[in-house]
Structure 1
Amino acid sequence: MTRLSRTADRIATGSRTLARRLAARVAAWCARGRRHDLTGWRAALGIVARCALLLVGAYLLARIVRALPALMWLLTTGWTIAAWRAGRPATEAPAEAPGEGAPPPDREAVHALLLEAMGDADAVHLRTVLAHLQQKGHGEGWTVGDLRARLEALHIPVHAKVKAPGSKSPTRGVRRADLAPSPAAAEEASTAPSTAA
């Protein structure tokens, strides 16, 4: 692969990553407009207002670029630089990608973290888990999608609609019932009394 094709590949990968992040942030911002103290169509008015605001903003930006075409150079340069940074290969980001000799995340430690974030409830939303994780100084820069991918890699089921205490609308989360101990932990628990005897 030539240097030019590697550069183009990195920018393309970064552009996809940026577009996904931007879409996720816009969707989350619009979703936060939902009123939980209202029901029916009135509860969704905030979402509609935010979507309308985005459309007006996009229209105004298009008008400004049409009036000042040279502005497109600035926007393109900014996007390319951001895409270059977002498209950094895993080998250049040791903080995000563990080395080849590093052990995989401990499933039991993840279970403990999820149960800690859950408290006495039967379920917890992924955004709550992510906030809990970031309070402990981990997962900086992660999105809910990043957390979901890591949980699914550990074979921890993530459900699309989970109702958790303190929230009126269901969203992606983990249920306590799915956090059964692993076979290794169950085997250790069953052999513990026999070794003590």
Structure 2
Amino acid sequence: MSRQGVVAREDDAAGEGAGGGHRRQGKAGRFWSTRRAPGGITALLLLAGIGFLLYDVASVRAGRPGMAWRRTLTDELATRRLDDVFVMAGAAAAAALGLWLLVLALTPGKRSLLTMRPDTPQVRAGLERSAAALVLRDRAMEVPGVRGARVTVRRRKVRARAQAHFRDLDEVRTDLEGALRDGVEQLGLARRPRLSVRVRRPGK
């Protein structure tokens, strides 16, 4: 297995990537994303908006007229009804943005990283789904009769699709299921995914 597909962290140093307070003793939880990009974009937008507003307030305090956009926005908010299409569209957009930020804050993320069993104390390990799929595909290609295979690894399911050019399909499927079952077990995942195998003849 390629070393670049495995991520190992000590628990004391994994607070940022593993969600800090979301770790539980004796249980291998998912790795938590730091969400740097959404957090940075949100902070920059808020900083820009607050900066423009403070600049306008300071200008008004200094005796200068307020910016045209703020006067227009104030007039629009004062004259438009709550059931106006633009008001409802703006409220829907703000609600959608807030819901998106809440989802980002409450979900782990890092869906491409599978958590491995905590066999070593104070060490957490993760395996990339692409690396797991590559390992299982190599296992599938070692089964006699398999001409080609495609393996997809998800968090809860492993799906294998193979082509057999000789041997009975039922025999190939049985051997393939056994090989992939052993391969999944050797991956050392904390949560063993379900296995789905389908074998067919290559198209002419």
TM-score range, shorter chain: under 0.3
Query: Could you state the TM-score of these two structures normalised by the residue count of structure 1?
Result: 0.24
Of Structure 1 and Structure 2, the greater helix share is in 1
Query: Could you state the TM-score of these two structures normalised by the residue count of structure 2?
Result: 0.24
Q: Which has the higher contact order (CA 8 A, sep 6+)?
A: 2
Q: Rg bigger for which structure?
A: 2
